[in-house]
Homo-oligomer: A and B are copies of this chain.
Amino acid sequence: MNKPLINDTFLRACLRQATPHTPVWLMRQAGRYLPEYCATRAKAGSFMGLATNVDYATEVTLQPLDRFELDAAILFSDILTVPDAMGLGLSFAQGEGPRFASPVRTESDVARLQVPDMNKLKYVFDAVSSIRKALDSRVPLIGFSGSPWTLACYMVEGAGSDDYRLVKSLMYSRPDLMHEILKINADSVAQYLNAQIEAGAQAVMIFDSWGGVLAHTAFKSFSLQYTTRVLSQLKKEHEGQVIPRIVFTKGGAVWLDEMADMDCEVLGLDWTADLSAARHRVGGRAGTPGKALQGNIDPNVLFAPAQAIEREVVDVLESFGKPHTDISCSGPTHIFNLGHGISQFTPPEQVKVLVDTVHAHSIKMRANNS
């Protein structure tokens, strides 16, 4: 029923298949750095007004694709829709971050917590269907969710935090309660992502944005274990197509060996990672198993002049090295991205330099037979 994708480089690279160029998309590519996004948001009145309105969500998801030659679209939404559907009362005050009216801090708060009725998140799945239709097979659509641990951080802190004192106090004092929260979060995230897949998401990404604040052993028990629980429940195919799963732990480069065994197709990395070493450790060789790698340029590069952006993009591409080009088997592939969401202060014309350089240089690398 669906037309074949016009540009399927992103999905092919997720599955470690050879592509003519290195696909590129940007975390938070539909965002405040684009004047057209700000105009739509002004019409919507608020961030949640934007996220819950299917037409507006569709409009802003497609905006960056009209400006830049991006190889994937990502659903416009927020990672906190799931705890909001659990009844914690999400709001975004002007100029501030997200806030929950009813944070989860006590034994009785945890006892009340449940996997939310997915009907409360229907606006998200409707947006996915609407965006798929609007994309008209130009590029694939990525669905996403926060990781169980990252959602728990917001649910316990009640807002952003710079020291994670409340959530870590609970974790160290009452690990039993924390595990209970994380189990519910994992099962909720799995249902949420599966519903996005059914609505048309062609790949899904789990944002473990705060996994990197955990201590070494706590990361395994409180983050990795529950991301794994999500992955084990996800649909691997939909309508005959494999649905690649991307896991991104900000600050997680130090635990690459621990993450190598996860049952997912793609690992996202931030800029602290050495892509060459990461490819060696988890990328696999042509014809052997491994994971595709996604990342990892510092978004602050986009504040430099064009020539410096070109130099830094080339450095990141060359640090991964030439992707495999053998169409008869799978092998190491790279999906270019930032190591974190794009800054609201980014000049849009610099984004064009980045995207165009990724394409031009990665084509050149493939032509080079050395």
Oligomer copy total: 2
- Bound Cα distance from A298 to B254, whole angstroms: 16
B215 touches A343 (CB 8 A): no
What's the least CB distance linking A79 to chain B, in Å? 18
B173 touches A345 (CB 8 A): no
A184 at interface, CB cutoff 8 A: no
- Bound Cα distance from A168 to B165, whole angstroms: 28
CB-based nearest B residue for A167:
B300
- Bound Cα distance from A315 to B217, whole angstroms: 9
In addition to A173-B308, A216-B272, A217-B315, 9 A-B residue pairs with Cβ atoms within 8 Å of each other are A168-B298, A169-B303, A172-B298, A172-B312, A215-B271, A215-B297, A218-B298, A254-B273, A255-B272
A-B contact list, 7 entries, CB within 8 Å: A164-B300, A165-B303, A168-B301, A173-B304, A216-B319, A251-B251, A254-B273
CB-based nearest B residue for A269:
B216
- Bound Cα distance from A296 to B217, whole angstroms: 12
- Bound Cα distance from A195 to B253, whole angstroms: 38
- Bound Cα distance from A360 to B173, whole angstroms: 22
- Bound Cα distance from A334 to B334, whole angstroms: 39
Report if A215-B339 is in contact (Cβ < 8 Å); known contacts: A254-B253, A254-B273.
yes
- Bound Cα distance from A33 to B221, whole angstroms: 30
B172 touches A308 (CB 8 A): yes
State which residues 168-222 of A face B: CB under 8 Å: 168-169, 172-173, 212, 214-219
Q: Contact mask A292-306 → B, CB, 8 Å, 1/0?
A: 000011101101110
A239 at interface, CB cutoff 8 A: no
CB-based nearest B residue for A311:
B172
